[in-house]
Amino acid sequence: MELKRAEQIADSLEQLVFQGKYKDGQRLDEIKLAARFNVSRTPIREALQRLVMSGMAEQIPRKGVFVRQPGPVELLEMFETMAELEAACGRFAAVRMTDEGLERLADANVRCKAAVEKKDAAGYYQENEAFHREIYHGATNAYLRNEALRLQNRLKPYRRVQLRFRGRMAQSLAEHEEIIEALRSGEAELAATLLRAHVTVQGEKFQQLMAGLKN
């Protein structure tokens, strides 16, 4: 129960950071947060560690945990790198993914579809993560998988914000369908191209993302 509460608190803190309630470089005080969320300091510590692991906060020895927000250039660079990692995973997975892996991928997308029908953005993101992780696993390259997982975790709050945009969940689901077909047919370059486009943020899409972080 405490672990689930810590996850809820971490999600709430992410939103508070996006809304500007906590500024870049601001210390996240355990005692004040425990009072705010009416919990002990144990789930607060767990929530703060989750923020540190995602890169949204930084832990400084003997000083505490501080908000750490990337600037627009750094965020764009991270998305560019993520897009290339996803493309590489898709290229390998198209020729290496097992039938069982493809079944799990399709099952994850069925759950994504159910979340879209319920208009459940949080549920969609959870299943979307599972979808992408199946592709990382299917690439059968442990080093590449670990790098993709690390950056996926770092970008989690920002990728989730995109789901606020009208029609984005349905669009993402349609892109998943194309990706699955490319992987099933073994079209490595097409899978890479589709995954790169699926993750890339640029132009108007990036402007929407940055605006979403300020709202």
Residue 87 sits in the same domain as residue 33: no
d(CA 122, CA 163): 9
Last residue of a domain, which of 19, 34, 67?
A: 67
Residue 53 sits in the same domain as residue 119: no
Q: pLDDT-derived band of residue 101, with 50, 70 and 90 as boundaries? A: very high
How confident is the prediction for the chain on average, in pLDDT? 88
Residue 174 sits in the same domain as residue 94: yes
For the question of whether the overall pTM of this predicted structure is more than 0.85, the answer is no
Structural domain harbouring 47:
2-67
Q: pLDDT-derived band of residue 210, with 50, 70 and 90 as boundaries? A: low
Q: pLDDT-derived band of residue 208, with 50, 70 and 90 as boundaries? A: low
Structure tokens given for 94: 């198209």
Q: pLDDT-derived band of residue 3, with 50, 70 and 90 as boundaries? A: low
Q: Give helix 72-96 / helix 121-138 axis angle, nearest 10°.
A: 50
Q: What is the pLDDT averaged over residues 148-163?
A: 81
User: In total, how many domains does the chain have?
Assistant: 2
Element spanning 59, H or E: strand 57-60
Last residue of a domain, which of 67, 91, 117?
A: 67
Residue 45 sits in the same domain as residue 143: no
Residue 110 sits in the same domain as residue 188: yes
